[in-house]
Structures are given as structure tokens and as C-alpha cells.
């Protein structure tokens, strides 16, 4: 498939050549009424990343954001429209920014970068799966939060059909990652382990605020997105938040990033 490769190269060239568009827009579901925990986490991660890169972008909330998205590996959200290009989810968006040489983390050497990518992938997989698990597999959370929120933009009976479809897709994804037959304790255990790894990484450079020294990188953005969402989302089952709360350094890290880039100050002391 030479032609495909060539066209990819061509696209990459074009991407690098053009400056960051002024009207770059991030599309996401309605935050107050609609968005679900896994989607909120990935949207927040992307927003944090773009803010860390100091790139201007607008945010548009629309009810059918997920259907407009060109698709992705997990939540399909958020997606960003920059000029003629549309990218969905954290990794493709990060790659897009990097091709423009606007990315943070250019100071890192190759080894450090590879190391960091491992952490990013670990954080994304573990937390997204845990969030999907709690949202769709926990009956109470599904009934009281996930289903009403996901269906809020659709009239009856379309909301039930959409909920059914969404849950089926989420369960299928959990099955692919072999999370479907876990019980809640094993999920907590996995999350705790991941937090432990992160906290250990954070403690490697105790006097600097970020994971890799003085400057933020992708890992800071994605870890903040997931941890902050888990900590600030009220669910009937707060097991995930309680687990994360045990790691004081991570909570402190979230408070710091929030203060620096968002100023929502909604983390409880």
C-alpha cells in the first residue's frame, strides 16, 4: 500500500507546514447534564494538554458530539477540529500537536519519552477501563447516573435504545480488555496499583511539581484528567474516588495543576 503511505506522508507534511489554527475547537458533550465519567476524564486530559502547550482553543458542547466524532479506540471523545483536520481522543490529538512542533515535552530525550509513553498508556488503559467498569457494570451507578445522563439528550423511547447500545459497546470494550469478569475489589486493586506507580514516579523528583521535573508533559495531562475527574465526580459508588484519595501526593498534584491551568478549585481539602 505505497499510495496510502505516501498520502500519510503528504498529510504529515501539510500538518507540519500549517500553523496552529486560530479557530481550533474542541467538541465534547454537555458537561453539566450529559457527559459520563470516562468521557469527562478524556476531555479534561486533552484540555489540560492543550493548556499546558499554551495553544488557544474554543470549547463547543453539543449533544451529538460522540456521533460526530471520527471514531477512536475507547470513548471517541473529545474530538478537535483544527482547520480541515479532525482528530479524536488523547493520543491522536497529541500526535497532531507534536507534528506541528508546538508540543510540550520536546526537551525530553528519546529514552525519557519512551518511558513516559509507557506511563501514559498505562494510565489511559487502567483508568478508562475502571471508569467504564464503574459506569456500566455497577448496577446502581448505571441506573442512577450513567443511564439518565446518557439518555438526557434523546426523547423517549430513543433514550432507552441509545442507553442499551452504549452499554453494549462499553461491555464489549471491557471484554476485549478482559475486565468484564472482574469484581469490584480487583478493579480497586488495579487502580490502587496504578496510583501507587504514579505516586512513586511523582516522588522521584519530590521538589518539582510535575512527573518529569519542572515542566509538564503528556503524562501530567492525562494523569490529571483521569484523577481529577474521578475525585470530583459524585457517584452512588465512590470506591474509585476513595482509592485515589489515599494517595495524598496525587491529590496534591491534581490541586496544583487545577490551580495553575483551570482554577476550578473544586477539590475538597
Partner 1 sequence: MPKSGRDGGAPKDSKYDLSKISARVDRVNVSGLLRTHNDYVMRAADGLFKANNFQDLMLEAMSTKSYLHELGIFKDVSVHIDVSRGTDASPQGYEVTFKGNEMSRMMGSAGTEIGQNEGSLRTELTIPNILGRGESISLQGSYSSTRANDLQLKFWKPFFHTRFKENRPEMSFSIFRQTDRYDISSFKSTNLGYLVDFSAHTMVGVDLTHSLQYENSIRDVGLLNKSVPFGIREHCGPKLASLLRYSVVYDNRDGNVFPTRGVFLKSVNEYCGLGGNVAYTSSTAHGELNVPLFAGLVAQFCGRVGVVKETKNTTQLPINSLFYCGGPLTLRGFKFGGAGPVIDGTPIGAQTFWCTGAHLWAPLPFAGVFKNLASHFRMHFFYNIGNSNSFSTENMRSAFGMGLAVKLAERARIELNYCVPVRRQNTDNILNGFQFGIGYEFV
- State the residues that interact with partner 1 by CB under 8 A: 62-64, 66-68, 70, 81, 86, 154-155, 158, 161-162
**Residue closer to partner 1 (CB basis): 40 or 69:** 69
**Residue closer to partner 1 (CB basis): 156 or 183:** 156
Helix 2-17 × helix 90-99 angle, to 10°: 70
Cβ of residue 64: shortest distance to partner 1, in angstroms?
3
**Residue closer to partner 1 (CB basis): 79 or 90:** 79
Cβ of residue 65: shortest distance to partner 1, in angstroms?
9
Query: Which contacts of 8-13 are long-range, i.e. CB under 8 A and separated by 24 or more positions?
Result: 12/99
**Residue closer to partner 1 (CB basis): 70 or 236:** 70
Residues 6+ apart with CB under 8 A from 138: 184, 237
**Residue closer to partner 1 (CB basis): 75 or 243:** 75
Question: CB-side exposure of 34: number of CA atoms within 13 Å?
Answer: 17
Residue with cell 450513567: 146
Residues 6+ apart with CB under 8 A from 245: 231, 251
Three-state SS at 163? helix
Contact present, 131 and 38 (Cβ < 8 Å)? yes
Amino acid at each position: 500500500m505505497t499510495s496510502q503511505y505516501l498520502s500519510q506522508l503528504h498529510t504529515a507534511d501539510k500538518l507540519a507546514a500549517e500553523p496552529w489554527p486560530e479557530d481550533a475547537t474542541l467538541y465534547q458533550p454537555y458537561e453539566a447534564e450529559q457527559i459520563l465519567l470516562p468521557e469527562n476524564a478524556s476531555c479534561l486530559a486533552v484540555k489540560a494538554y492543550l493548556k499546558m502547550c499554551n495553544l488557544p482553543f474554543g470549547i463547543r458542547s453539543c449533544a451529538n458530539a460522540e456521533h460526530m466524532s471520527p471514531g477512536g479506540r475507547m470513548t471517541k471523545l473529545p474530538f478537535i477540529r483544527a482547520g480541515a483536520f479532525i482528530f479524536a481522543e488523547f493520543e491522536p490529538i497529541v500526535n497532531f500537536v507534536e507534528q506541528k512542533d508546538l508540543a510540550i515535552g520536546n526537551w525530553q530525550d528519546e529514552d525519557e519519552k519512551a518511558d513516559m509513553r509507557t506511563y501514559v498508556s498505562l494510565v489511559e488503559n487502567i483508568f478508562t477501563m475502571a471508569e467504564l467498569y464503574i459506569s456500566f457494570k455497577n448496577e446502581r451507578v448505571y441506573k442512577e447516573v450513567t443511564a439518565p445522563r446518557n439518555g438526557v439528550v434523546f426523547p423517549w423511547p430513543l433514550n432507552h435504545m441509545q442507553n442499551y447500545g452504549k452499554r453494549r459497546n462499553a461491555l464489549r470494550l471491557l471484554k476485549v480488555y478482559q475486565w468484564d469478569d472482574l469484581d469490584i475489589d480487583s478493579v480497586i486493586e488495579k487502580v490502587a496499583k496504578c496510583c501507587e506507580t504514579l505516586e512513586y514516579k511523582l516522588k522521584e523528583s519530590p521538589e518539582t511539581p510535575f512527573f518529569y521535573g519542572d515542566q509538564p508533559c503528556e503524562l501530567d495531562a492525562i494523569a490529571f484528567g483521569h484523577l481529577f475527574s474521578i475525585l470530583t465526580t459524585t457517584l452512588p459508588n465512590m470506591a474509585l474516588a476513595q482509592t485515589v484519595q489515599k494517595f495524598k501526593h496525587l491529590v496534591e498534584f491534581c490541586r496544583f495543576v487545577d490551580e495553575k491551568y483551570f482554577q476550578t478549585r473544586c477539590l475538597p481539602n
